[in-house]
Amino acid sequence: MLKISSKLLPNFKGHCSSPEIIMLFVYMKARFALSYRDLEEMMHIRGAVIDHSTVARWVGKFVTLVECRVRQRRKPVNGSWVYLYRAVDSLGNIIEFLLIEKRDLAAAKAFFQKAFRSSCRPDKVNIDKSGSNIAALKALNKSQPKTIEIRQNKYLNNIIEQEHRFIKKKTKPMLGFKNLISAENTLAGMECIRMIQKGQIFGQTKNFCSFNNFASLMA
């Protein structure tokens, strides 16, 4: 059963629906390949009337609560990793993610710096053939005494490509995002729920389903 921590309740002030109902929708949107209209119809079947645009606003506003709780309790990830503005280790555990408008040197550098801050500086990094990725890592190597080994191994890069499937599967029914902020919020929720599925959060119960661990995280 989903029960929201009393510390989080002030965030829901002014909303007619209960915090539990709101966060249930946030979880369902981030967990399953459902459009906002799908969620609206599901509630209609249960006899409740909630407009899909309301659900979209909930996700845009409250997914940050999930991300905050996940980042507070996320297990550290070690080892070499591969990326496409999503970084994972050799086991497929999510290290960091970043949604940004441009794929250039500045964007690649910003992503690597964010990943290093959250999970320390690695010894090796496996990347695709993007020139901006290589240039960013070389620039970061010049600024630090510890040099990161840059690798371009197709087999290792397949790990991140396989991980992309879970995000693509959920975004496909949505037919795109209206703006970058909406995309950032929704994808952040999907990434955080994916971390819960992978058991990357401290305090998770191994035998629990992902929803029970999500409920425990928000309690």
Phi, psi dihedral angles at 204 (to 5 degrees): -70, 150
Task: Decide: 137 and 148 in contact? Cβ < 8 Å.
Answer: yes
Distances (CA, A) of 9 to 36, 55, 106: 24, 18, 38
CA separation for the pair 97, 182 (Å, rounded): 15
Confidence check: pLDDT of 74 > 90: no
Which residue ranges make up each domain of the chain?
9-75+176-218, 81-163
Quote the pLDDT of residue 157: 67
* The 3-state secondary structure of 81-129, one letter per residue: EEECCEEEECCCCEEEECCCCCCCHHHHHHHHHHHHHHHCCCCEEEECC
- Report for 33-37, 54-58, 131-135, 162-166: range of highest mean pLDDT: 54-58
Q: Give the model's pLDDT for residue 83.
A: 35
141 within 8 A of 148, measured Cβ to Cβ: yes
Q: Cα(66)–Cα(194) distance, rounded to whole angstroms?
A: 12
Average pLDDT (116-134) is 82
Residue 77 has pLDDT above 70, yes or no: no
Mean pLDDT of 34-38: 89
- Does the pTM surpass 0.85? The reply is no
pLDDT, tens only, 79-115: 433 334 677 777 778 888 777 777 788 888 888 888 8
Query: What is the identity of the amino acid at 103?
Result: R
Q: What is the pLDDT of residue 23?
A: 92
Contact assessment for residue 43 and residue 26, using Cβ atoms and an 8 Å cutoff:
no
Higher pLDDT, residue 20 or 127: 20
9 residue type, one letter = L
Average pLDDT score, the chain: 81
H/E run at residue 151: strand 149-151
Residue with tokens 């280790």, as numbered in its chain: 89
pLDDT attached to residue 131 = 81
Does residue 179 contact residue 108 with C-beta atoms inside 8 Å? Answer: no
Residue 174 gets which letter from DSSP? G
Residue 183 scores a pLDDT above 80: no
**Given this model, what pLDDT does residue 76 score?**
67
Q: Which residue has the higher pLDDT, 117 or 102?
A: 117
What band does 22 get if pLDDT is binned at 50, 70 and 90?
Answer: very high
